[in-house]
Amino acid sequence: MNVEKLENVTKVYEGSVKTVALKEINLAIEEGEFLAILGPSGSGKSTLLSILGVLDRPSKGKVYIYEKDITLLSDSEISKIRNEYIGFVFQNFNLIPRLSILQNVELPLVARGVPKKKREEIALASLKLVGLDGLASKKPSELSGGQQQRVAIARALAQNPKIILADEPTGNLDSFNAKIVMDIFKRVNEELKTTIVVVTHDKEVASYARRRIYIKDGKIVGEES
């Protein structure tokens, strides 16, 4: 079954200069897949991830999540689907400095109205999955970059998402911590059957994926398994 499917998706940004970020993208992502999207800066790969994460709407074309056409839905309906199905991991971690690691991981569950005791249990279990349950009371500033990215992964996992979208998740990490992060994604994909989509310009990072697509100038220009 397809988790997501894009049909003839084009994204145009209107401004003083009209920018075509994506051109007639056709892409199907299967449930349980580990996919890497490769391309240089400005190729459109982050725009593609925004479309996949329903953070942005296409200018033309269709986007399906579990066969539901989200281009027909209201913003509030799209937000509900995004919260239910999709977890995000970003290059800059996006942790809240004043909150503890545990509280950062709990945040998506607070938005869902999960009771305090239950969300603490879920957050601790998620931190255990990434090997950081012993640091739950620490603040982000007390952790290394690699540890902060693992917290960001735990936060995504706490939502129990069907799909995790990661935008350059190793971009701010050294090779040692990048390997730890990618090993976690691989384990989550294999053991939890979570669909993983990683946007990267790093071929070593992309080698973890079972399928790789290449994007250039807003178009898919190649694919390999």
Structural domain contains residue 181 = yes
Structural domain contains residue 127 = yes
Number of helices (H), then strands (E), in the chain: 7, 10
Structural domain contains residue 139 = yes
The 10s digit of each residue's pLDDT in 171-211 is 989 999 999 999 999 999 999 999 999 999 999 999 999 99
Long-range contacts at 41-45 (CB < 8 A, ≥ 24 apart): 41/201, 43/215, 43/216, 43/217, 43/218, 44/11, 44/215, 44/217, 44/218, 44/219, 45/199, 45/215
Structural domain contains residue 150 = yes
Structural domain contains residue 49 = yes
pTM across the whole model: 0.93
d(CA 150, CA 89): 9
Structural domain contains residue 147 = yes
For residue 42, the domain's CATH number is: 3.40.50.300
Structural domain contains residue 101 = yes
Structural domain contains residue 10 = no
Looking at the structure of the chain, the number of domains it has is 1
Q: Which domain holds residue 177?
A: 34-58+84-224
pLDDT value at residue 127: 96
| Regions of the chain where pLDDT drops below 50 | none
End-to-end CA distance of the chain: 18
pLDDT value at residue 208: 96
